[in-house]
Structure 1
Amino acid sequence: MRGRLSAQLYLIALGSNRRHRRYGRPREVVAAAMEELSALGTVTARSPVIDSAPLGPSARTFANAAVIVESALAPDAILAELKRMERAFGRRRARRWGTRVLDLDIVLWSGGMCAAPDLAIPHPAFRERAFVIGPAALIAAHWRDPVTSLTLRQLRFRLSKPRPA
């Protein structure tokens, strides 16, 4: 799958909850990473950066956002570039749910679904994460989850509904 395709659209989620020595606080890290994503193709849409509560044991607030990138790179090549970018920003693989300078995930792509040993599109947990769905729905409200056929707007609405106790 590695290589080039005709132009595809990728919805990428960004997150940070740790300062960077050059870029500063997590919100600035996410803003800088949004700029860096233009190296993969054309950034066609950017959400605002939001603050969100952490998952798991981390006590630090996250800064999150989403972008749409138009690229001729195949999904596995995009993933490799995202992981390279995370490392360039200082991300080190540590404990699960720990602090991180930068986290980049492919949420959806215009090619539908992708299943490979190190890559699953759509992202397996995105439907339950308001910090992903919220920013994503602001820039791609009509994009459909290929698994549920629901739009991002519909998925955001489902997450916002009160759940029975």
Structure 2
Amino acid sequence: MALSKENLDFSTTYDRPAVEERVAIALGSNLGDSANLLQLALNALNQEDGIVLTHVSPFYQTAPVGPPQPDYVNTCAILYTTLVPFELLNRLLRVEQQFGRVRQERWGPRFLDLDLLLYGDRIIDQPGLQIPHPRMRDRAFVLVPLADIAGDWVEPTSQQTVASLLSNIDPAGVRLMAPD
């Protein structure tokens, strides 16, 4: 059986954080009213037990990765959680499903995409969960909004700050959206 997020066993246990862990997530949407969907998803996350949302970057319009499709609206958020990494991932996946996410085509269009980027200074390489997110260092649509709210956060595998990682890539194609 192929490994996918739909058939993962989330029963793996980790030591529960003694204090809340700081976490960075990325949010994206390119179907429907994307900006509104992202705001609703942020509100839904903030209602989850064990999650406290503290910072949200401005929204950005970005060109899609993959097949031809509408532009994305992207943002990043910082939250604090008492959930262990797999529990948090499970919550993110559940919120995606609440907003109509159906996993079909890799890099295809979607109503909502939530990615767990950083969990404190932890490095996790497990089937179904890699922290830091393995492609975040190469993606302007992640690093630009993340630098807005956590530019000094040190990405643990590279030991570089988010701002430093951003300085190594071309941010062209990531456009700040005007507030409504």
Q: How does the TM-score come out when normalised to structure 1?
A: 0.90
- What secondary structure does 1:160 align onto? coil
Q: Distance in 2 between matches of 1:57 and 1:142?
A: 33
| Cα deviations by residue, 1:99-138 (Å, 9 ceiling, x for unpaired) | 1000001111114211211100000100110000000010
Q: CA deviation at 1:28?
A: 1.1
What's the % identity of the aligned pairs?
Answer: 36
Aligned residue in 2 for 1:9:
22
After TM superposition, give the deviation of residue 3 of structure 1 in Å.
Answer: 7.4
1:28-53 deviations in Å (ceiling 9; x for gaps): 11111111121241111110111000
Partner of 2:51: 41
Q: Contact 1:2/1:77 (CA < 8 Å) preserved in 2?
A: no
1:50–1:65: 8 Å Cα contact kept in structure 2? yes
Task: Give the match for residue 38 of structure 2.
Answer: 30
Assess if the C-alpha contact under 8 Å between 1:3 and 1:77 holds in 2: no
CA distance in 2, matches of 1:58, 1:77: 33
Q: Which residue number corresponds to residue 133 of structure 2?
A: 123
Listed as ranges, the matches of 1:33-112 within 5 Å are 33-38=41-46, 39=48, 40-112=50-122
CA RMSD of aligned residues (A): 1.6
Unaligned stretches of 5+ residues in structure 1: 20-24
Q: Do the aligned partners of 2:26 and 2:75 also contact (CA within 8 Å) in 1?
A: yes
Q: 1:161: how far off?
A: 8.1
CA shift in 2, pair 1:109/1:156, >3 Å: same
* Distance across 2 between alignment mates of 1:161 and 1:56: 17
Structure 1 residue ranges, 4+ long, deviating more than 6 angstroms after superposition: none
Higher alpha-carbon deviation: 39-48 or 115-124: 39-48
User: Does 2:144 correspond to 1:134?
Assistant: yes
What secondary structure is seen at the aligned counterpart in 2 of 1:64?
strand
CA distance in 2, matches of 1:58, 1:42: 36
Question: Normalising by the residue count of structure 2, what TM-score does the alignment of the two structures yield?
Answer: 0.83
SS in 1 for 2:65: coil
Which amino acid is 1:37 matched to? L
User: Secondary structure at the residue paired with 1:84?
Assistant: helix
SS at match of 2:147: helix
User: CA 1:161 to 1:104, structure 2 compared with 1: closer, same or farther past 3 Å?
Assistant: closer
